[in-house]
Structure 1
Amino acid sequence: MAERARLADRPLRVALVTTFYPPHNFGGDGRYVQSFARALARHGCEVEVIYSDDGWRVLSGQKTSPETAPDEPGIKIRNLSSDKPFMATLLNQQLGTPAGRRRRLEAALSNDFDVIHYHNVSLIGGPGALELGDAIKFYTAHEHWLVCPNHVLWRHGRELCDGRECVRCSIAHRRPPQLWRATGLLDRAASHVDTFIALSESVAANHKSFGFKPEMTLMASFMPDEEAAASVPAPAHPRPYFLMVGRLEVIKGMQDVIPRFGEDAPADLLIAGSGPFEPELRALAEGKPHVRFLGKVDPGALPELYRNSLALITPSICYEVFPMVALEAFREGTPIVARDLGPYPQIVQESEAGLLFEDAVSLGDALRTIASDQQMRAKLGANGRQAVATRWSEATAIHDYFELIRQTAIKKRRQDLVDRLAALPLAA
């Protein structure tokens, strides 16, 4: 009775396990986990983020590492950093297990959690991490790593993948082929997870088509209810413009957009971001005065950049999962012009806040339509703002998450957890 009373009174305890976490992250998955942790804490949960900066140190090539982010109200940060990051990362990548950090990860996950939620675990433990801990277990697919050694289904660095050539493709991506993928490790490890979560229909469909056996539950992404970053003036621009925000890589597809901004362009193109493909893009834009590279932009300046643009262009030629830039644009009342691929058809259909294109002709048509039809552009922008306030709000996401926990707790006969969920904000 005393133990039951103790469990009934305590907050919901959630562990978030991930490879990357700010400041040790490259893309959106680390920032998503940070926003998710803060949202859970705001709604009464005790959260522990468990990650390792080993993979970040190896992949970034940085000799010195930023300090681990400090704990926040309701959030404890655990960085399982090792003294030999290269060896730990290599063993993890090859064997699919936590290797040199297994004991520390196992100890961290034994801390009386109600939910263990895995995110990108590629270099924090691989499939082997899914076997550790005793709690309700979820896994959110932020990439296609479960079915693709190189995460993005971009075969040989030049085309969408429609069939496995994983060894040659890994070599093309300059990564060692993974030994564990030739075994049944993933199937065995996946059996320890109660629910695999997909952030878009495209992600679920891709996993199924590439042979991933567990069914995936759709759960929408969200725009967090965080206080806005300190406002920073956006770079001034005298003419109407379209905007691209993101890392400049070949898979982002900007090489298909820049040629549309010649002398007859309906507006200018501002590109906010940097990356390894930037020199090629700058060469492509040479002699095109309608194209301007802004480089890395202070996050505080992005809202104004979005707000003043005609539309955000999202032309990725690979399968995105659910790009947060679309929600950031919608929040500012800005529509999107997106390639008809991956999650974008779903995003545009559900929001009614954008136009899709398939090729150079349809892209040009979409740009001219957005630039010339102010009434339609305002309608699309208003639809996007409304979609973020409802469909992709923090309140909707946390409500759905608590409901998923409740349903799983009922299946596992965890009545104490069901009772505590009923007392949490938005759980009813």
Structure 2
Amino acid sequence: MTALRFCMITTFYPPRSFGGDAVAVQSLARALVRLGHHVTVVCDDDAYRTLSGDHTPAPPDSDDGVVVHRLVSRLGAIAVGLTQQTGRPIVHGSLLRRVLERGNFDVIHYHNLSLVGGPVALSFGRAVKLYTAHEHWLVCPTHVLWRHHTEPCPARQCTRCQLSYARPPQLWRHTGLLERELGHVDAFIALSQFSRDKHREFGFPRDMEVIPGFMRDPGPPREHASSHADRPYFLFVGRLESIKGLEDVVDAFAAFDGADLIVAGEGTERTGLVARAAGNPRVRFVGFQSGAELSRLYSGAQAVIASSRGFETFGLSVIEAFSRGVPVIARRMGSYLELVEGSGAGETFDDVEGLQAAMQRMLADTTRRSGMGVAAYARFRSMFDEDVVVPRYLALVERFLSHRSPAPSLPVSDTAVHA
């Protein structure tokens, strides 16, 4: 394939980000650069600063060959609020439009649009346009179908639910704005069959291609990965939020002494979870981890526990475990079902007792667990390896490019843009 020019539009991009969606955008951008394509990312630094409270200068405008534009304005949180409330990039609109219309892009790929531009940003630029639904923002004002902060959403109560999140209702969702702007997009991508079905269930009017998340193959796992731990342990990796269901995992270890629990992550529920585990030396919170240390934690675990109680569109920690030949014990919920059940690479559970039983089986039968590890890596290589998934993505791009003519080229600066 001839080298192409891609532009990724996303609210957050590492290292100024919070969840797996930004990591997924970075993985795709870097993968395309390694294949010889040119990739520009546009993200909203105002949004990151507003939500994180971190007002330190933005990082460099290049990330392993990816050009990064971080939108910044003097209005900060006001700019973010205007986008959230109107569905339009009121403050950054002219800058975003300039980047997209002067960049001579072959492909504009939208990701998390919520605070970087809203639905109106879908109309900017002339290129093949793709949209990946990393969350359920297209059908849910809170993005995650987690109603009133307490349960997976069984039916819409959007206004009341937004108020429970201390967010003002998005009136633009009742005007037909989103439905009109969807027409500018050539293809929508879901990360799992579950996510595609859930979007359809909640009224999303367009069909969706299913292309899963991916990562680079770290290489065949060692038969007995070394670990710095004195005792066997199970691992949780993710944000410490109520939707992630970690309360059940902590409770399971209150009466389970065969192994430890290591929790890698940060979030608003950390204080409560630490208090919940107080007095239990088998539960350890190690904070946010990345790079070599996170890899060691994965490789040394008996299994990774994926405990989310919500409708996860995908499970990044699941494929990270699989890539290291580590089984997964996942809640029987959301996309975890298609990732784990029937794979031979783990088990699913419904409640605390089910989780305890699954962990006990892992510890009691090392031959079975070893076989699950082999199956985990095989599943990763066949379904979630970068070398498998990125060609599927490029085939989708090629399908729509064959019907498009290139836009005229105009100069655009490869630096961060400011209002």
Common fold by TM > 0.5: yes
Residue identity matched to 1:206: K
Change (3 A) 1:66 1:353: farther
- The residue number in structure 1 matching 2:381 is 389
- Say whether the 8 Å CA contact 1:263–1:288 is kept in structure 2: no
- The residue number in structure 2 matching 1:30 is 22
Separation in structure 2 between the aligned mates of residue 352 and residue 170 of structure 1, nearest angstrom: 40
Separation in structure 1 between the aligned mates of residue 251 and residue 63 of structure 2, nearest angstrom: 46
Separation in structure 1 between the aligned mates of residue 74 and residue 217 of structure 2, nearest angstrom: 37
Answer with 186-195 or 20-29: which moved more.
20-29
Change (3 A) 1:281 1:104: same
Residue identity matched to 2:94: R
- The residue number in structure 1 matching 2:415 is none
Separation in structure 1 between the aligned mates of residue 21 and residue 149 of structure 2, nearest angstrom: 21
- The residue number in structure 1 matching 2:372 is 380
Matched, 1:163 2:125: no
- Say whether the 8 Å CA contact 2:218–2:323 is kept in structure 1: no
Cα deviation for residue 273 of structure 1 reads 1.8
Q: How does 1:38-49 map to 2 (within 5 A)?
A: 38-49=30-41
Matched, 1:92 2:70: no
- Say whether the 8 Å CA contact 1:223–1:388 is kept in structure 2: no
Residue identity matched to 1:146: L
Separation in structure 2 between the aligned mates of residue 68 and residue 268 of structure 1, nearest angstrom: 37
Cα deviation for residue 72 of structure 1 reads 4.1
Residue identity matched to 1:183: T
- The residue number in structure 2 matching 1:102 is 93
- Say whether the 8 Å CA contact 1:52–1:80 is kept in structure 2: yes
**Per-residue CA shift, 1:354-404, capped at 9, x if unaligned?**
100112232222111111111111111111112222211111111101110
Cα deviation for residue 324 of structure 1 reads 1.5
- The residue number in structure 2 matching 1:78 is 69
Matched, 1:326 2:318: yes
**Per-residue CA shift, 1:186-206, capped at 9, x if unaligned?**
100101101000001111111
Residue identity matched to 1:105: L
Q: How does 1:14-25 map to 2 (within 5 A)?
A: 14-25=6-17
Cα deviation for residue 226 of structure 1 reads 7.9
- The residue number in structure 1 matching 2:209 is 217
Change (3 A) 1:225 1:414: farther
RMSD between aligned alpha carbons?
2.2
- The residue number in structure 2 matching 1:133 is 125
Matched, 1:57 2:44: no
Separation in structure 2 between the aligned mates of residue 92 and residue 293 of structure 1, nearest angstrom: 36
- Say whether the 8 Å CA contact 1:331–1:384 is kept in structure 2: yes
Change (3 A) 1:311 1:409: same
- Choose between structure 1 and 2 for higher RCO, CA contacts under 8 A separated by at least 6 residues: 2
Change (3 A) 1:80 1:223: same
Residue identity matched to 1:71: S
Answer with 142-151 or 387-396: which moved more.
387-396
Q: Secondary structure at the match of 2:188?
A: strand
**Per-residue CA shift, 1:254-293, capped at 9, x if unaligned?**
1111122135433221112222112221222123232222
Identity among equivalent pairs (%): 43
Cα deviation for residue 15 of structure 1 reads 0.6
Q: How does 1:15-414 map to 2 (within 5 A)?
A: 15-62=7-54, 64-72=55-63, 74-110=65-101, 111-224=103-216, 236-349=228-341, 351-410=343-402, 412=403
Residue identity matched to 1:207: H
**Per-residue CA shift, 1:78-122, capped at 9, x if unaligned?**
112112111211110111011111111111001111110000010
TM-score for the superposition, normalised by structure 2: 0.91
Q: Secondary structure at the match of 1:257?
A: helix
Cα deviation for residue 235 of structure 1 reads 7.9
- Say whether the 8 Å CA contact 2:106–2:406 is kept in structure 1: no
Cα deviation for residue 12 of structure 1 reads 0.6
- Unaligned regions of 5+ residues in structure 2, if any? 220-224, 408-419
Residue identity matched to 1:379: G
TM-score for the superposition, normalised by structure 1: 0.89
Q: Secondary structure at the match of 2:384?
A: coil
Separation in structure 1 between the aligned mates of residue 215 and residue 173 of structure 2, nearest angstrom: 35
Separation in structure 2 between the aligned mates of residue 89 and residue 279 of structure 1, nearest angstrom: 28
- The residue number in structure 1 matching 2:413 is none
- Say whether the 8 Å CA contact 2:226–2:300 is kept in structure 1: no
Separation in structure 2 between the aligned mates of residue 56 and residue 319 of structure 1, nearest angstrom: 24
Change (3 A) 1:73 1:330: closer
Change (3 A) 1:415 1:68: closer
